Amino acid sequence: MTIAQAIQYALSLGLERLDAQLLVLHALGRSNRERAWLLAHGDDAMPATALAQLQAQAARRAAGEPLSYITGHKEFYGLTLQVDARVLDPRADTETLVDWALEVLDAPTIAAPDVVAEPTALAAPTSATPASAPTLIDLGTGSGAIALAIKHSRPLFQVHALDFSNDALAVASANARRLALDVQFHQGSWLQGLDQQFSVIVSNPPYIAAQDEHLAALTHEPLQALASGDDGLDDIRTIIGQAHVHLLPGGWLLLEHGYDQAATVRTLLQSAGFTQVQSRLDLAGIERCSGGQWLGRALIND
Ligand SMILES: C[S@@+](CC[C@H](N)C(=O)[O-])C[C@H]1O[C@@H](n2cnc3c(N)ncnc32)[C@H](O)[C@@H]1O
């Protein structure tokens, strides 16, 4: 069988062309950036071992397993993350949340951490990170995608990442080590027990309703990364309820949520006392993230 025929074979199982090409490249031990190479070598013979690997992996993809679990990696915000079934497969839509977090972190409207934050044993800033640098925590970090993208984009910021799952933290901290990014990891349930304040709290929490029909198509990913109570908003309610205690005056809480949850999340943020409440669109033009600013007593009294 030639390489072109191997791609046709994967397509015949129902795979999208991009996935078919990436699996053929993976089976050949080539980078996912070499799709042009495939076109130039369509008539080359597919080695038997590579073909056997492709057949097994194309069947897994056809059964709904994320491509990233099969190849073991995923591109996110220009970083190559190692991922497996212990963590959510990072989605391109989540890059909207990273863009927004960088935007508010760069704005000079948030109090400096060394003015307001209590000293904490949780995270000792490295010598390269000034004590007054903006601080961010990524709640429910999974593979570390959001936290690592932000630390990579702004190396001087203090970046923390938290997850309930020790399995997820193992994946995230391995990614941080491999990418040489200095992120402080914490195990815990949302902000409970943390005694630190941040410039920005960002989270892509579980937000699918427990009975939602879409869950059936996501059986390969950890349920605790996806489902959140009867209406999908249990974790978002918890985070909004806890966040103000952990935000510096002028700090922002930014949340990813479901395609139909923006209006409800904005109402929850406004009811909790956040200002400048607004939403951002994902790549498909859907309101995918909502957030607001916590002015805090110090600024309100000014
Ligand atoms: C939707 S995934 C997001 C993963 C990653 N941030 C991303 O965007 O790809 C939600 C994450 O929240 C974590 N999580 C669920 N419940 C949690 C809790 N009570 N406290 C902290 N993390 C939790 C899950 O383990 C999972 O890693």
Give mean pLDDT, residues 51-75.
96
Ligand 1 pocket mutation, candidates 146, 185, 224, criterion most atoms within 8 A of CB: 224
In sequence order, the 6+-apart residues with CB closer than 8 A to the CB of 215 are 208, 223, 226, 227
Mean pLDDT of the chain: 91
Distance 144 CA to ligand 1 centre (A): 10
Nearest CA to ligand 1 atom 20: 189
CB 269 within 8 A of CB 240: yes
List, in order of start, the domains of the chain with CATH numbers.
Answer: 3-63 (no CATH), 85-300 (3.40.50.150)
Ligand 1 pocket mutation, candidates 86, 99, 165, criterion most atoms within 8 A of CB: 165
Q: Is 37 in the pocket of ligand 1 (CB under 6 A)?
A: no
Of residues 123 and 263, more confidently modeled: 263
Q: Give the H/E segment covering residue 234.
A: helix 234-243
How far apart CA 279 and CA 136 sit, in angstroms, is: 19
Distance 234 CA to ligand 1 centre (A): 13
How far apart CA 20 and CA 6 sit, in angstroms, is: 9
Model confidence band, residue 79 (pLDDT cutoffs 50, 70, 90): very high
How far apart CA 289 and CA 283 sit, in angstroms, is: 12
208-238 residue pLDDT tens? 999 998 888 888 999 888 999 999 999 999 9
154-174 residue pLDDT tens? 999 999 999 999 999 999 999
Which pLDDT does position 294 carry in this prediction? 96
Which residue is associated with the tokens 């009867």?
230
Instruction: Specify whether the backbone of 229 is left (phi greater than 0), alpha (psi in -120 to 50) or beta.
Output: left
Distance 229 CA to ligand 1 centre (A): 14
82-109 residue pLDDT tens? 999 999 999 999 999 999 999 999 986 7
